[in-house]
Amino acid sequence: QSALTQPPSASGSPGQSVTISCTGTSSDVGGYNYVSWYQQHPGKAPKLMIYEVNKRPSGVPDRFSGSKSGNTASLTVSGLQAEDEADYYCSSYAGRNSVFGTGTKVTVL
């Protein structure tokens, strides 16, 4: 069970959009609509931003959106704000267990 693949970093200026990919296999991302995304600020616990590919928990701004095509899921952050600078992790159900992505550091320029 290997970690899902994410780009190490992504960046954008305030107000711009950034999209992060999360590539897995047909045994995880491609096989289930249970892809979620987490935001983690330094020294803090992860926070759920997207679940079931494209659903937002209560309180998460609609600037955050998710999608999936085949074995690759994506998180888009529109209208970047300074507070969006953080590490982002995808996760997918993979049968009996779940697997995280390698993580992407988003920098707001």
Partner 1 sequence: EVQLVQSGAEVKKPGESLKISCKGSGYSFSNYWIGWVRQMPGEGLEWMGIIYPGNSETRYSPSVQGQVIISADKSISTAYLQWSSLKASDTAMYYCARKVGASYPPDFWGQGSPVTVSS
Tell me the Cα Rg of the chain: 13
By beta-carbon proximity to partner 1, the closer residue of 43 and 82 is 43
Binding marks (x or -) toward partner 1, 39..78, rule CB under 8 A?
Answer: -x----xxxx--x-----x---------------------
Tell me the C-alpha distance between 34 and 9, whole Å: 24
Binding marks (x or -) toward partner 1, 17..46, rule CB under 8 A?
Answer: ---------------x-x-x-x-x----xx
Q: How far, in whole angstroms, is CA 12 from its chain's centroid?
A: 16
Going 14 to 105 to 58 to 63, the CA torsion angle's sign is positive
Other CB atoms within 10 Å distance of the CB of residue 3: 14
Contact set with partner 1 (CB under 8 A): 1, 3, 32, 34, 36, 38, 40, 45-48, 51, 57, 87, 89, 91, 93, 96-103
